[in-house]
Amino acid sequence: MRTDSWKAQPIRAAMGGGSMVSAVAANLREARTAVGSRSTAALARCFGERAILPGDPRYEAARRVWNGMIDRRPLAVLRCTGNEDVRAALDFAAEVDVPVAVRGGGHSVAGHGVVDGGIVIDLSPMATVTVDPSNSIADAGGGTQWGEFDAATQRHGLATTGGLISHTGISGLTLGGGFGWLTRKHGLSCDNLIEAEVVCVDGRVLRASPEENAELYWALRGGGGNFGVVTRFRYRLHHLGPNVLCGTIAFARASTRDVLRRYRDVMATAPDELAAYMTFGTLPDGERAIVLTTLYAGPAEDGAGWMERLRRCGTPLADLVASRPYTDFQKSLDGSQYAGRRAYWKSSFLSGLSDEAIDMAITCAAELPARDAILNIERYGGAASRVPPEATAFPHRDSEYLINIMSVWDDPERDGANVGWARESWAAMAPFVQSRSYSNFLGDEGQSRVREAFGVNFDRLATIKARFDPGNRLCVNQNIVPTSGAMTNIEETK
Ligand SMILES: Cc1cc2nc3c(=O)[nH]c(=O)nc-3n(C[C@H](O)[C@H](O)[C@H](O)COP(=O)(O)OP(=O)(O)OC[C@H]3O[C@@H](n4cnc5c(N)ncnc54)[C@H](O)[C@@H]3O)c2cc1C
């Protein structure tokens, strides 16, 4: 139990002294579904209205995350406004010995932004973005969403690699890697993270950068939320827009085989500026189609020829490629992805896209279980693949494609059909995928998949975990169990 934190004493005092702390803690260990009245008072004293407890009319909404299948009841959701709140929340969780879930944007498909019987550190109030255009950097709070980040940086004609949906959190996405339209041109989101401010489980606030706490900085770039609560992210920015050549081209489902083979051939020689994903899905009128979504991260006149080559992958049913604001495009896929829908995903990397893999993907997508179920193939590579696997915690640099089998639906009675389709499709694709996973697309799939997510970097991450979170307080994530005895093995770079 820590005794040196600034909030520990008020919490203990409010709970009625040391013996009462132990009594409440013991009580909570036994029955983690209710907060005792004295602990409630302690939270109220530290957090006021920002502590949301069972019984509060806001509780039902506050405990919900993006994936509507997740139905967990935390002891408290603590809306944190700064490092001191985060420290107090960590203290409180340690006092009552309960797990902590850290919530950035709440988009973890596994529901890692909430925990049964534990504390949710909700960073959503920390969403300020400050742009320094002369140095092409931006600082963003841990609760920022990509739509907010893009809006702030695009005011200066700048951007960094971010997610495809505007309400995804910058936090979880960056800490796990971060794929988006700019990955091939500018690397993963984590490749553009140049500094982070971290509240550690022991209450220290550290700056992580190449110069300070370099091991922690290395781990934050792909190792997920295992090492501390990141309250501020500093990104490198790049000139982009405000208008970019981008959009979607839909092709008839019957032509999928040829379309995908040509797409593969076009992308084999494409410049880093060209991003293009292929999605088996359903058009608004109900017609099944193979849809190409693309963005050229350079001058439109340079991209026009590449768009023409992509069009010639087949006979377009619809062609919506045009020059339009980047911020609009970054919201254009939000439509079906609103919070509260049920979701189940499977995802892996492919070393290449063989004819056989294409044929199997076609078979898997022949019957989609829901209108918004998709099978998606994303060409990767470019700048992200030129980073050595051990340079950051994100290891999967030489895979050529990501394949995502993603179902989104609303009716709980359709759970079996949707989950079953994703699992069966993933099993069918198994001969073609690598033993790798992207931690940000993982469900709760077990330690072997977590190991696959961190690959060659797993052991080093476990050692760093032992140094920064030896008790594994931050375990509600794609969890790296600390390697015991490793705490003295690493010399921190100052
Ligand atoms: C609709 C949708 C679209 C997506 N699109 C993309 C995409 O385009 N590209 C891509 O790469 N991924 C994408 N993802 C996956 C996304 O990267 C992960 O779901 C990611 O975890 C989301 O981050 P979050 O902050 O919103 O999630 P949360 O659920 O809040 O957090 C996810 C994990 O990160 C940890 N965490 C969050 N914030 C912090 C913090 N500040 N400090 C320490 N730990 C923290 C949490 O403990 C948890 O383990 C998408 C997900 C969804 C649901």
141 CB within 6 A, ligand 1: no
Protein residue closest via CA to atom 47 of ligand 1? 102
Q: What is residue 295's three-state secondary structure?
A: strand
The H-or-E segment that residue 459 falls in is: helix 458-468
The percent of residues above 70 in pLDDT, for the chain, comes to 90
Chain segment 372-424, per-residue pLDDT in tens: 999 999 999 999 999 999 999 999 999 999 999 999 999 999 999 999 999 99
pLDDT band (50, 70, 90) for residue 43: confident
- Closest-lying ligand 1 atom to the alpha carbon of residue 179: 11
**Mean pLDDT score, 18-46:** 53
With a 6 Å cutoff on the Cβ, whether 173 touches ligand 1 is yes
Pair 243, 216: CB distance under 8 Å: no
**Mean pLDDT across the chain, nearest whole number?**
91
CATH 3.40.462.20 is right for the domain spanning 243-447: yes
Is residue 33's pLDDT more than 90?
Answer: no
Neighbour count for residue 485 (Cβ, 10 Å): 10
User: How far, in Å, is the centroid of ligand 1 from the Cα of 442?
Assistant: 11
Q: Is any ligand 1 atom within 6 A of the Cβ of residue 109?
A: yes
Entry field: residues in the chain = 494
At residue 487, does pLDDT exceed 90? no
Give me 374's structure tokens.
């998709």
Residue written as tokens 């809306």? 79
User: What ipTM describes this predicted complex?
Assistant: 0.99
For domain 8-122, give the fold.
3.30.43
Which residues of the chain are in CATH 3.30.465.10 domains?
Answer: 129-239
- Reported as type and span, the H/E element at residue 170 is helix 170-176
Residues spanned by CATH 3.40.462.20 within the chain?
A: 243-447
Say how many Å lie between the CA of residue 263 and the centre of ligand 1: 29
Query: pLDDT tens across 423-468, in order?
Result: 999 999 999 999 999 999 999 999 999 999 999 999 999 999 999 9
Pocket test for ligand 1, best of 440, 468, 480 (most atoms within 8 A of CB): 440
CA 195 from centroid of its chain's CA atoms: 18
Is there a cis peptide before residue 389, judged by omega within 30 degrees of 0? no
- Does 222 sit in the ligand 1 pocket, CB within 6 Å? no
Asked which of 8-17, 85-94, 162-171, 227-236 is least confident by mean pLDDT, the reply is: 8-17
CATH no., domain 129-239: 3.30.465.10
Distance 174 CA to ligand 1 centre (A): 8
pLDDT band at residue 146 using 50, 70 and 90 as cut-offs: very high
Can you tell me the distance from the alpha carbon of 262 to that of 255, in angstroms, rounded to the nearest whole number? 11
SS3 string, 338-355, reads CCCCEEEEEEEEECCCCH
d(CA 370, CA 281): 9
Count the neighbouring beta carbons within 10 Å of the beta carbon of residue 244. 27
Separation between Cα atoms, residue 321 and residue 307, nearest integer Å: 8
Query: Is the Cβ atom of 172 under 6 angstroms away from ligand 1?
Result: yes
pLDDT reported for residue 45: 81
Report CA torsion sign: 327, 330, 333, 337: negative
